[in-house]
Amino acid sequence: MRWVLRVVAAAVIAAVLVVGGTAYAVWKQARADEQAPADAILVLGSAQYDGVPSPVFEARLDHALALFEDGLAPTIVTVGGKQDGDRFTEAEAGSLWLQDLGVPAEAIVAIGAGTNTLRSMEAVAEVYDDRGWSRLIIVTDPWHELRANRIAADLGMTTLASPTRQGPAIFTRETQLRSIVRETAAYLYYRLTGSTPETRIGLG
């Protein structure tokens, strides 16, 4: 019985260390901004309402626009499919928003595929290879950056993290803590299974 208890205790301690270490990695990556010249700025999609980006999505687009205007990349990539009944994809909504603020249509690549992070990144990887790109800047919420960049690396893409610092995902400490817990679980799920548990309604 004593041996069994020791094994259980060791397993619990190991699990706590793994979860705690992952949560720390999510937090640490969220604080980083690695912006540097790249081939394109990738804005990960979020909800849109009949072509109008949600506040979360708009915050990401606004940051991508600032990077574009600073000359860090000549192209902005919007990505994301649509839910049943939607008229617009997330990619289209993002593209329209950027064009309304003066970004030339030819400087935008809209990839209307994917309703979660993994599927969207798989679609981006095809364009990345086709265009011979060597580096992307990923723009998303701070807590989402670790998983997004991990997936990108697994798909053969070189990326930099430059998260938005505004929007509903950033407002309160309660929101931030909830996001860290959620992304810790999502990151561990991805590393264990190679898949992703979320849709845009959930963790996307």
For residue 33, how many other CB atoms are within 10 A of its CB? 15
User: DSSP 3-state assignment of 72?
Assistant: coil
Using a 10 angstrom Cβ sphere, with 0-12 exposed, 13-18 middle and 19 or more buried, the burial of residue 114 is buried
* 187 neighbors 154 (Cβ within 8 angstroms): no
Q: Domains of the chain: which residue ranges?
A: 3-193
Closest alpha carbon to 183 in 19, 56, 61: 19
Q: Is the pTM of this model over 0.85?
A: yes
Query: From CA 60, how far away is CA 43, in angstroms rounded?
Result: 6
| CATH T-level fold of 3-193 | Rossmann fold (3.40.50)
pLDDT tens sequence for the chain (204 residues): 777 777 777 777 877 787 888 999 999 999 999 999 999 999 999 889 999 999 999 999 999 999 999 999 999 999 999 888 889 999 999 999 999 999 999 999 999 998 899 999 999 999 999 999 999 999 999 999 999 999 999 999 999 999 998 877 666 777 788 888 899 999 999 988 888 776 443 334
For residue 42, how many other CB atoms are within 10 A of its CB? 33
